[in-house]
Amino acid sequence: VGEYKVPYTSEWTFGGGVQYQLDRDLDDNGLNDSLNFVPFYALAHYNMQNSPYYFLGHLGYNTFDMDSTGDTSGGMYYAVGAGMDLASNMSAEVMYSVNNGEADDFHVPGNNVDVEYSKLTVSLGYQF
C-alpha cells in the first residue's frame, strides 16, 4: 500500500493511493483459478475534533487479472472505514472495500462474467 495525503483543514485530509492485492484462489464449482486486483484511488480522511477517531473513504479504479481467462478488464473500486490514532505515527483501522472487474471467456468461449470481490480489513499502520 502506498498513499500520499495532503492536509486541507484541521479535520480534512485528501490524497491518493495504490494497493497491490496478492492473488486470491477461486474455487468455483471445481474450477480452480486465481485472481488479483490493483486499485488506484482518491481518498478522503476526516479527523474528529479533540478525538483520536477518524473516518476514511476511497474511490477509484482497479485493474483486474485472472489466470485462466482470455481477457479481463478492471472496474470501480470503493472503500469506507474508520480508524483510531494510537500514537503520533501509529493507527488501527477497519475498512470494508469492494473491487469490480469483468472476465471474458471464463473457462469457455462466450462466457463473460462480472466479478465483485469484497472484503473487511483490520489493520495496524505506521506513518512515516
Q: Per-residue pLDDT tens for 4-37? A: 999 999 999 999 999 998 888 877 666 677 889 9
Structure-model confidence comparison of residues 85 and 105, the more confident one = 85
Q: Per-residue pLDDT tens for 54-104? A: 999 999 999 998 877 778 889 999 999 999 999 889 999 999 999 999 988
What single string gives the DSSP state of each residue in 76-90? EEEEEEEEEEEETTE
**Whether this model's pTM surpasses 0.75:** yes
Indicate the domain borders of the chain. 2-126
Which whole-number Å values give the CA distances from 21 to 6, 8, 61, in the listed order? 24, 29, 14
